[in-house]
Chain A
Amino acid sequence: MRSELQEIWVYLSTTPLLGLTVTLCAYVLGYHLYRKCRFNPLLNPVLVAVLVLVALLLASETPYSRYFEGAQFVHFMLGPATVALAVPLYRHFHLVRRSALALGVALGCGSVTAVLSGVGIAWVLGASRETLLSLAPKSVTTPVAMGIAEQIGGLPSLTAVLVILSGITGAALGTFTLNIVRVKDWRARGTAMGVASHGIGTARAFTVNEVAGAFSSLAMGLNALATAILVPVLIALLT
């Protein structure tokens, strides 16, 4: 019996089916919990699903690379999903056009704040030069952030982790921050999430309000561009 089970496990663990299925199960679990707690941001489904999956992988001693063979099918959908953000953006574009000036100024200030606050705090606390450079593009969507890190001499793989962690932080704690500064306007709330927490913040914004989601999508895209231009300039000025 035991050897039979072991055979099944050996078979399953080499197919992509298992990685894909556990990813969906962990997310469905996280999502139900999220909905049951009325979309409390602390129970962010990415956070819950990641914790569950990491625990499972560690317990079963499954390497990440094997898990990813299955999970890559979900990961792949990030591309088409990013393209799909054009639809809500188009539907709410009249609002974007009317607030273009405010959006542009907020985006510029937000972009500078994201880079300087992250690098500044880590510098004060004594982080190494490589870590500082890897932190600079942490608020930008992953592929761009990794490109920037490489260009300025940071570690792209470290940056990828910092990007994900910044996204989850914003998605989980952004709502409270926005309530503390008493900003109620969905356009401003969405823009802030997109600038600070890229796609994961945008996903949270869409859960809450479609206008916020549309502004967050746009802010994420524009912030990628702004940061890619800004970071090399700031690094040159500061070093």
Chain B
Amino acid sequence: MIESLTVLLVCQLVGEVIARASGAPLPGPVIGMAILFVGLALRGRVPEPLQETTRSILDHLSLLFVPAGVGVMIYLPLIADEWLPIAAAIVIGTLITIAVTAWIMNVLLGRTGRSEDTGGREK
């Protein structure tokens, strides 16, 4: 657990350094994700403790967005003046994006052959 957390933090730190040094339009943690991915690919498998640690973190990924979500309360006055265009842009825009992306990908996957193990529908 501690070793796995250390691995995650080291990847993030290196990612952070690369992000600052290169000025790439990506946050440090996303570059850290790429670094860990390359590490796993070189190693050829996921070590069991890392698998367990990441699963327990990702099982409750939602929790980590709560503090930033609460931050919305102090910026609500910024939205108040133009709440209608903003609300419409967010709700309609987000749902159109989901529909368009999923539909295009689904059509293209259908052409290149769909793999039987990923079909399904949530309840």
Interface residues of A, Cβ cutoff 8 Å to B: 23-24, 26-27, 31, 38-39, 44-47, 49-50, 53-54, 57-58, 64, 67-68, 71-72, 74-75, 77-91, 93, 95, 98-99, 101-103, 105-107, 109-110, 113-114, 117-119, 121-128, 131, 135, 138-139, 141-144, 147-148, 155, 157-158, 160-162, 164-171, 173-175, 177-181, 183-189, 191-193, 195-197, 199-200, 202-204, 206-209, 211, 213, 217, 219, 221, 224-225, 228-229
Contact = CB atoms under 8 A, between A and B. Distances in A.
B7 to A, nearest CB: 8
Given A82-B32, A197-B94, A106 B62 contact: no
B85 A121 contact: yes
Interface size class of B (residues with CB under 8 A): 35 or more
Q: Which of B74, B79, B88, B109 has most chain A Cβ within 10 Å?
A: B109
Contacts of B86: 122, 127, 131, 135, 162
Contacts of B91: 169, 173
B96 A113 contact: yes
Given A128-B82, A139-B94, A160-B71, A187 B105 contact: yes
Given A110-B104, A191-B101, A83 B65 contact: no
B119 A121 contact: no
Nearest to A75: B67
B88 A81 contact: no
B86 to A, nearest CB: 6
A185 B112 contact: no
A184 B33 CA distance: 27
B5 to A, nearest CB: 7
B64 interface: yes
B58 interface: yes
A192 B105 contact: yes
Contacts of A185: 105-106, 109, 114, 118-119
